[in-house]
Amino acid sequence: MRWTQSLIPTQKETPSDAQIISHQLMLRAGLIRQLTAGAYDFLPLGLRSLQKAMQIVREEMNAIGAAEVLLPALQPMELWQKTGRDVGYGDNLLKLKDRHGRLIVLGPTHEEVVTELVSAYVSSYKQLPLSVYQIQTKFRDEFRPRFGLLRVREFLMKDAYSFHANVESLNEVYDKFYGAYEKIFTRCGIPFVVVEAESGPIGGSASHEFMAACAAGEDTIVTSDKGNYAANVEKAQTGARPWTFGGEPKGELDKVHTPNLPGIEDVGKFLKVKPKNMLKTLVFRTDAKGPAQSSGVNPAWVVAVVRGDHEVNESKLKQAVAEQFHVGVQPLVDDPAVREKWAIGFVGPDAAIKAADAVLVVDPDAAQGGFWASGANETDYHVKYFNWFRECGDKLADPKKTVVADIRNAVAGDPSPKNDGGKLTASKGIEIGHVFKLGTKYSDALGANYLDDAGQQHPLIMGCYGIGIGRILIAAVESMHDEKGILWPAAIAPFSVVVTPIRYEGEIKAAADKLYEQLNAAGIDTILDDRDARPGFKFADADLIGFPVRLTVGDRGLKEGKIELKRRKAAEPEMVAVDNIIERVREALRA
RNA sequence: CGGGGCGUAGCUCAGUUUGGCAGAGCGUCUGGUUUGGGACCAGAAGGCCGCAGGUUCAAAUCCUGUCGCCCCGACCA
């Protein structure tokens, strides 16, 4: 490609709307342009990188025997109603009406569509396992698109789905996808870590996220300093944390008027108590059907308590409550019935003791003796010098009333769940890939069954596997740039080589043209900077865009029959004889 | 949806407080001089000041409404 024939609008100045470095550089390098919130034009250079990433993904998917398909973005609402995700997916589901008034979904993902497809043609265990994938545009009506390509409303995603007759087969194929993902991100040159993510219906390690470590990431990764554990903070377990409700009261219970203080931070400041010395008490409704019993089993309410500086993790809470009390937990909705029973915002743990139909779940760090500040169970009041045994009594020892369990998000400094003396550290990451064991959720809902060798019908067991193609570019730019611009890994650079003639005229022009032809003939994708511009201007653009190799053609080198080769990542250029240039470029691109 | 910020040339932004000719730098175009790390000189083009209404002799500037964009929060199989 000749520079003057392409569309490469580089900019010297940083666009004011761009916050994170990858967004700034991708705009400045002329890779993308924002059309509207969460939707971007891909310009020629951006598209080339995107296509290279797609090709790598495609090759690795093909290598593990996944068959490429292309499914419509336009999907009938009925399909989503069958799986309940017309509601379950929430407002991120982009809906529209056609001229006949039919409701259409612009697909945010394709479990429904692919399950419908496979169920139409797969009816025997002999056809399994089967894996299909596509690279296709997804639509999600994000509340707040942001950070350039990181969170957008329309984006390219590689989504793959596998179908199985048994869990062993699913596990086998899951491992293949896992391996393919490692190859993909390694080939793309992106530093990544794999973390345990939210467990699926299969249980165990049913889900892994591939995270590119970078400060701009939206996800928090928790890692053991022993190097043997990594998980998304949403999923991360903690090691054993000792607890005891014991300890003498530090003072008389002291009720304090605390009006107009919206958060725990504010209350803490007002009371002159640090959040880590406060109890955060949240109320959840259970899905228990029967009448509450005085013993505390089959409770209607769950009162969860964590330390003031910690966050309740709802999935951990759900698990603890399911194990101990055999009921599910629903998110609390703010309705008058709730307000009447609980002083929302001012609840204290003892309220659970007094209510016959409530149970108490306490995080170990909150189940400690000593000084606590807490809600007073009365609107606009808190108490100081809360003491567990004095305020709650021996119900704390009743397993039908009270349980101590890990119900909070992990934080830096927590013991590793491996219980090997490791401590957890926290860092930020961008989720670039996700592999997930789905189970039979979609095949059940859509009646996608197969016949086993005994002629019995069973729902297909499924896995799904996603990669955000655009996020590959973001992750690369976030992790590889300097003050001058992007440092593209060779595999996904828009062009591998830029040929930069010092002046595009005379014998320099002839030499540059010839070099450009040679590189093209050798199958090295090259852009020729044929602009009538001064060298410094061209160098600055080349560095900003970040082509891995720059070949500078000028009279200095030509006098000696040499071309200057400058690797973007190298500090200094080297002079290479014209005869050796192709070979040397290949070497530089491998490095 | 709650809170905050911003809409003026392709880009970055002044001008709005205190109403009075539409501005600068970068980029673009023309001519010239230049040419190894974002050159210089001279000239030029480019604007519904987001949009609509109002106040006023007069509105980029004040008022009302509205649309869009960015950030924080909430949301994110």
Q: What is the 3-state secondary structure (H, E, C) of A266-311?
A: HHHHHHCCCHHHEEEEEEEEECCCCCCCCCCCCCCEEEEEEECCCC
Backbone angles phi, psi at A581, to 5 degrees: -65, -40
Q: What is d(CA A273, CA A250) in angstroms, rounded to the nearest whole number?
A: 14
Give domain A495-590's CATH architecture. Answer: 3-Layer(aba) Sandwich (3.40)
Cα dihedral sign for A342, A343, A349, A351? negative
Q: Integer distance in angstroms from CA A276 to C1' B11?
A: 48
- Inter-residue contact A404 to A310 (CB < 8 Å): no
For residue A221, give the H/E element and its range: strand A219-224
Backbone angles phi, psi at A312, to 5 degrees: -70, 135
For residue A196, give the H/E element and its range: strand A192-196
A291: buried, middle or exposed (CB in 10 Å: 19+, 13-18, 0-12)? Answer: exposed
CATH topology of domain A254-404: YbaK protein (3.90.960)
What's the ipTM? 0.92
In A362-437, which ranges are continuous DSSP H helix? 388-392
Closest CA to A119 of A138, A107, A109, A132: A132
Distances (CA, A) of A454 to A2, A164, A168, A457, A458: 64, 16, 19, 9, 11
Q: Integer distance in angstroms from CA A250 to C1' B1?
A: 44
Does A254-404 match A28-187+440-477 at the fold level? no
pLDDT at A356: 83
Q: Integer distance in angstroms from CA A24 to C1' B37?
A: 22
E strand spans, A440-545: 449-451, 457-459, 461-468, 481-482, 485-486, 497-501, 526-528
A92 touches strand B (CB under 7 A): yes
Residue nearest to nucleotide B69 (CA to C1'): A37
A244 touches strand B (CB under 7 A): no
Domain A28-187+440-477 class, CATH top level: alpha beta
pLDDT at A262: 66
Owner of token pair 């999907």: A75
Q: What is d(CA A520, CA A77) in angstroms, rounded to the nearest whole number?
A: 49
3-state secondary structure of A1: coil
Q: What is d(CA A276, CA A263) in angstroms, rounded to the nearest whole number?
A: 14
A506-509 — which CB contacts under 8 Å span 24+ positions? A507/A555, A507/A558, A508/A553, A508/A554, A508/A555, A508/A558
CB-to-strand B under 7 Å, chain A 32-51: 34, 36-38
A341 touches strand B (CB under 7 A): no
- Strand B: which bases are under 7 Å from protein Cβ? 1, 11-13, 25-27, 34-39, 68-77
A88 touches strand B (CB under 7 A): yes
Tokens of A469: 């193609």
Please report, for chain A, the start and end positions of each structural domain, with discontinuous segments joined by +: 28-187+440-477, 254-404, 495-590
Q: Which segments in chain A show pLDDT lower than 70? A: 199-205, 262, 290-297, 331-336
Q: What is d(CA A564, CA A208) in angstroms, rounded to the nearest whole number?
A: 45
DSSP state at residue A387: -
In A139-254, which ranges are continuous DSSP H helix? 167-187
CA atoms within 13 A on the CB side of A80: 21
Closest CA to A138 of A70, A199, A232: A70
CB-to-strand B under 7 Å, chain A 93-122: 108-109
Owner of token pair 């769940």: A417
pLDDT at A295: 54
Q: What is d(CA A161, CA A442) in angstroms, rounded to the nearest whole number?
A: 11
Q: Is A227 left (phi over 0), alpha (psi -120 to 50) or beta?
A: left
